[in-house]
Amino acid sequence: MDILAAYFLGGLVALSLFDLLTKRIRSKLQQSVTDAQVKLAGTGILVGRKAASALFLFSLWVFWPAVLLGAITGGKGNKQGDKHGT
């Protein structure tokens, strides 16, 4: 249980520092929440913006090593044709 708490605490600190230094999470949050909402609606699950925001931020927190690795390596998402230009 201590390892899990350390993992989540480390994730909270790492994501907070990442956002304070780069402002990338705050600047891209609205578009990411909209994308999450559309993807959930495509599966038949209709959620509001608050629920989609909570789900998106929770997934960032759970998978924070992948988020930071993607930011460090310069992952740009869909390489074939990004419709939103991000």
Reported as a single tens digit per residue, the pLDDT across 35-48 is 888 888 888 888 88
Are 36 and 55 a contacting pair, CB within 8 Å? Answer: yes
> What's the pLDDT band for 71 if we cut at 50, 70, 90?
confident
Q: In 1-86, which residue ranges form alpha helices assigned H by DSSP?
A: 2-22, 24-42, 49-62, 64-73
Quote the pTM value.
Answer: 0.67
Quick one: pLDDT at residue 86? Answer: 47
